[in-house]
Amino acid sequence: MSDLFIAAGGGGDPVGTAITAATVGRVLTGTPLGETTIATYAWERLEVDPTPGPLGAVHFAGLAHHAGMPVIAPTTRPIPPAGSTLPALAADLPARLALLDPWQGLPALAEQIRCLADGRDHVRIVDVGGDILAHGDEDTLCSPLVDALVLAACRLAGVPATVYVAGPGADGEIPQADVLDRLDGDALTPLAQDVAAVRAALSWHPSEASALFAAAVDGVRGPIRTVNHLIPLTDASARIHSATLDDALAHNTVAAHLLGVLPPTLEAAADLSAKLTQIHELDRERVAAAEPSAPARAALPWTEPAAWEAIRDAAQGAPHVTLRFAALALGLTWRQIPSLRALLGAKGPVLAVA
């Protein structure tokens, strides 16, 4: 029976979850990453998926199935106009990627997790950064709903679970010191071999939180310029902390309220989350999706010296930047990250610019 990990934050969390699963397998369970299932939302930033909100099974063609659940295969394709990085991740990550669909509400999400967990004695929930421990009133909080839904669904499903926070503070949503204050117990320290399994994905994926976590494991320290934040990487950024499901629920105000209401749709859950946090993740994406986007460039119109100069200027003195930040600073799209890496000779998940 393979281990089940849940990438609680959607977006690029499957990448950080794979690093976590490799570490947990090496240190605690002896289960290789290739025998692991990672359940994840298909909820990605609008530059990847221009349709607001997460994608469900109806938004994909060519899904496989496992334990009655849809599984993303390398040959799976999002149905236009939707977009997704998950099929490419399915090709580059050794783990199986199962699709979570929150549109039908909390009880249905709990049933999905119950099906995936059938026969397993434990589920491992992974959040890169730590907003899964959000109280809901943090000034820098951005996406409280997705993690809260996973916590509440696991409790409703009745599955024993441990919560892992990988790279505390790496997502910029809660300051690292605050995340660490909400965690007790020992931490796991990933090794380079644990990151090695996701190198191919890190070479092109626009995730910044997972990239920062991987960079910290690689030994990068100091401030990193991301698209929205300046995030300090410390020794703690390279670690994985754990918490019980009860402890995480005690911190997560939105999850506790979701369990009191059991919203029957994602829309209802988003409305409740917005009342508590003043952040409506569906409405925010609908507004952003309605705004005109810049046309994509077909080529990389930069020379190496000019690109470095422009990126350094945009970094404003930060010694490192994410590849996504560098691409946007040059007016490029995330799809051009591999070309940018080749132009600049980049080796790791972030660029050293100073």
Distances (CA, A) of 128 to 49, 169, 174, 242, 343: 20, 8, 11, 12, 29
Distances (CA, A) of 17 to 11, 93, 142, 167, 256: 11, 10, 20, 11, 24
Give pLDDT tens digits for 133-146: 999 999 999 999 99
Q: Per-residue pLDDT for 330 more than 70? A: yes
Q: Give the pLDDT of residue 93.
A: 98
Joined tokens for residue 125 = 């929930």
Give pLDDT tens digits for 57-79: 999 999 999 888 999 999 999 99
Owner of token pair 């810049």:
294
Distances (CA, A) of 333 to 90, 212, 250, 286, 338: 21, 19, 39, 20, 11
Give pLDDT tens digits for 208-228: 999 999 999 999 999 999 999
Q: Per-residue pLDDT for 12 more than 80? A: yes
Give pLDDT tens digits for 225-267: 999 999 999 999 999 999 999 999 999 999 999 999 999 999 9
Q: Give the pLDDT of residue 299.
A: 76
Q: How confident is the model at residue 39 (pLDDT cuts 50, 70, 90)?
A: very high
Give pLDDT tens digits for 94-117: 999 999 999 999 999 999 999 999
Rounded to whole angstroms, the Cα distance separating 75 from 87 reads 7
Give pLDDT tens digits for 163-186: 999 999 999 999 999 999 999 878
User: Are the C-beta atoms of 141 and 173 separated by less than 8 Å?
Assistant: yes
Q: Give the pLDDT of residue 67.
A: 81
Compute the average pLDDT of residues 335-352: 95
In DSSP notation, 34-81 reads GGEEEEEEB---TTT--SSS-B-GGGEES-EEETTEEEE-TT-EEPTT
Q: Give the pLDDT of residue 119.
A: 81
DSSP reduced 3-state for 104? coil
Give pLDDT tens digits for 262-307: 999 999 999 999 999 999 999 999 999 999 877 766 678 899 999 9
Q: Give the pLDDT of residue 160.
A: 95
User: Are the C-beta atoms of 63 and 73 separated by less than 8 Å?
Assistant: yes
Q: Give the pLDDT of residue 68.
A: 86
Q: Per-residue pLDDT for 21 more than 80? A: yes
Compute the average pLDDT of residues 332-344: 95
